Amino acid sequence: MRAGRYMVLAGALLALAPGLFAQTLADPTRPPDAASVQGGTASAGAARPQLQSVLISNQPGGRRLAVIDGRSVRAGDKLGGAVVVGIGEASVTLRRGKTLETLRLYPKTVDANDAMHVRRK
C-alpha cells in the first residue's frame, strides 16, 4: 500500500516537472516595448535619438523618410527639440539651434580585418 502511494506521488511530481523547468523563449521579431522606445525614465530628455530605418524612393525627386525612435519623419519635421534637415542613405542630420547632429544606422563601422582575424597556413 505504501509503495502505491510513493508511485502516485512520484508520478505527480514527474507530470509537473516539465512545467517547472520550462523556459520562455524571446521572440526576436517582436518590437521593443514602448517604454524602452520612449525612454520611460526621467533621463529620456538626455537620451540620444536612435535612427532605426531610412526609406528612399528610387524615382527622381522621390520622397525620403526616416524612422527615428519609432516615428516616421521627413526633412523639415520636428523631432523633440530638433529639426530634420537631411536624410541620407544611412544617416539623418538634425539641427538643434546652431548645432548639427548626425544619426547613423551603423554607428560603429567595423573593418573586416578587425572583425575576424584569420590565419592562413
- In this prediction, residue 17 carries a pLDDT of 67
In tens digits, the chain (121 residues) has pLDDT values of: 677 777 887 777 777 766 666 667 777 777 766 545 444 444 445 578 999 999 999 888 889 999 999 999 999 999 988 999 999 999 999 999 999 999 998 876 555 544 444 444 4
Q: State the pLDDT at residue 104.
A: 93
pTM exceeds 0.85: no
What is the strand order of the sheet 82-87 is part of?
78-79, 82-87, 91-96, 99-104
Give the whole-angstrom CA distance, residue 1 versus residue 106.
69
